[in-house]
Amino acid sequence: MSKNERKRPMEGQELIHAPRAAEIIGITTKHIRSLERQGDFPDRIVIGPRTVAYRRDELDAWIEARRKRLCKEAAQ
């Protein structure tokens, strides 16, 4: 495989900036930071000194897992 053929790690991945991620999920960026400290949120990707983003596929998986967990807890 030539150097030009190697796939870059983030190629094809949609990155969502933190404010947009919060909007999609329906929580604040402050709450996202709280969830990160608890280890209950996808890993952030540092874009710049004051900018972080999240992979869209990881956010979607987190949302689905949280939805299933909350539904299961509500059914008990």
- Assign 73 a pLDDT band (cuts: 50, 70, 90): confident
Report CA 76 to chain centroid distance, whole Å: 28
**10-69 per-position pLDDT tens digit:** 666 899 999 999 999 999 999 999 999 999 999 999 999 999 999 999 999 999 999 998
**Residue 56 CB neighbours (<10 A):** 16
pLDDT at 1: 47
DSSP label of 10 = T
Query: What does the alpha-carbon distance between residue 36 and residue 21 come to, in Å, rounded to a whole number?
Result: 13
Report phi then psi at 40, rounded to 5.
-115, 45
**Which 8-state DSSP code applies to residue 42?**
P
Q: What's the CA angle centered on 14, arms 49 and 50, to 5 degrees?
A: 10
* Predicted pLDDT at 66: 92
Determine the pLDDT at residue 11: 64
Where are the domains positioned within the chain? 14-75
